[in-house]
Amino acid sequence: MSDAGPPQGVHALSGRSPVHAVTSVGVHPLHPREILLGAQAMGGQLPVCDHYSGVEARMRKSLQLQAELTAEFGACVFDVTLDCEDGAPVGGEADHAALVTQLALDAAEAARVAVRVHPVQHPSFAADMAVIAGQAAHRLTHIMIPKVESVDDVIRAEQALISASAGRLPLHVLIESPAAVHRAFDIAAHPRVQSLSFGLMDFVSAHGGAIPVEAMSSEGQFAHPLVVRAKLEIASACHAHGKVPSHCVVTEFTDGAALHAAASRASRELGYTRMWSIHPGQIRPIIDAFAPQERDIDLACGIIEAAARADWAPIQLDGQLHDRASYRYYWQVIERAHQTGRALPDTMLAYFQVH
């Protein structure tokens, strides 16, 4: 996009001389994130895909793939979560914790690596936190706590972090039961919590057969009322407290069309901004489904450029009024475009280079 002036049809509605906040070589000292305050959804920015693996060979390949896609997209487009809960063999929990700790320590400097530990009720939880958080906290983005039932579980996990001298790490929590869904708003309100994820299969199983198995499928999970209600509660709780809602897995990992359809519905209908992957083939479809459309990116860039030139005063575009309320939305489109490796003009890329 040219920086010669606002897009055709855009006019500032203030009486002030516009400040050229966006230029071809840099940005105004005030960043959109600082100017466009007040949006709860701006509480956290995370890659749209969270990829889980627990077998050593797959964990290593996941970290390698993350580096390759980061080079391809120009941004880290997915997290790698090394899994202790489902990855550790029974009786081998300590060895597995040592393995994921070493993998995190050996990861590339720019890698985004997290670990899912055992639930707080599990006998291996304390050892997981002491070893993994105690030794590798400086290389981890967060720790995922599964089967969280209440704020008390979050507090217990936070205390384990502090005991391991890992107090800077945020927690992600997995909501897997009807009771946990009931408490989702309280859990999301805890300042240590950065993201809530929905555990579909455990949630269905927790109903003792009252929800049919079809509700675990890629289509059924968007049809059964209790499952949809749970997803909406979790998403709403996250948005109320500026946290990131992360959508559940799709188990039909060889069906790319089903995965893309589910990811698109999670993003566009249910308000999720992140989704789990359990197979490398799921990563690209998730990124594509959560990315803004090209026409939306173009519109957002034009509006933000014009807003910056108008010193963030109201403008009109093709007969429609835009002010800081809509600027927040369009800036979030640009943030999501950057998160998903979409092409942006230099005027927008400059914001990410200096902030």
Domains of the chain in start order, with CATH, are 41-290 (3.20.20.60)
298: Cβ contacts below 8 Å, ≥ 6 apart: none
Strand segments, DSSP code E, in the chain are 10-12, 49-53, 78-83, 113-116, 140-145, 171-175, 193-198, 244-247, 274-277, 315-317, 320-322
Cβ atoms < 10 Å from Cβ of 152: 11
pLDDT of residue 267: 95
Whether residue 154 contacts residue 171, with contact meaning beta carbons closer than 8 Å, is answered with: yes
Collapsed DSSP state (helix, strand, coil) of residue 286: helix
Q: Beta partners for 73? A: none
Collapsed DSSP state (helix, strand, coil) of residue 164: coil
Collapsed DSSP state (helix, strand, coil) of residue 175: strand
Does this model's pTM top 0.95? My answer is no
Whether residue 82 contacts residue 116, with contact meaning beta carbons closer than 8 Å, is answered with: yes
Q: Give the burial class of 288: count Cβ atoms within 10 A of its Cβ; 0-12 exposed, 13-18 middle, 19 or more buried.
A: middle
pLDDT of residue 20: 37
Q: Choose among 235, 221, 337: nearest CA to 287.
A: 337
pLDDT of residue 35: 82
Collapsed DSSP state (helix, strand, coil) of residue 256: helix
Residue type, 95: D
Mean pLDDT of each 10-residue bin along the chain, 355 residues long: 41 39 48 73 77 97 96 92 94 96 95 98 97 98 98 98 96 98 98 97 97 96 98 97 96 90 96 96 95 95 92 88 93 92 91 72
pLDDT of residue 29: 59
pLDDT of residue 30: 74
Residue in the block written with tokens 């069309």: 257
Question: In the chain, what's the furthest Cα-to-Cα distance?
Answer: 71
Strand (E) or helix (H) holding 156: helix 151-163
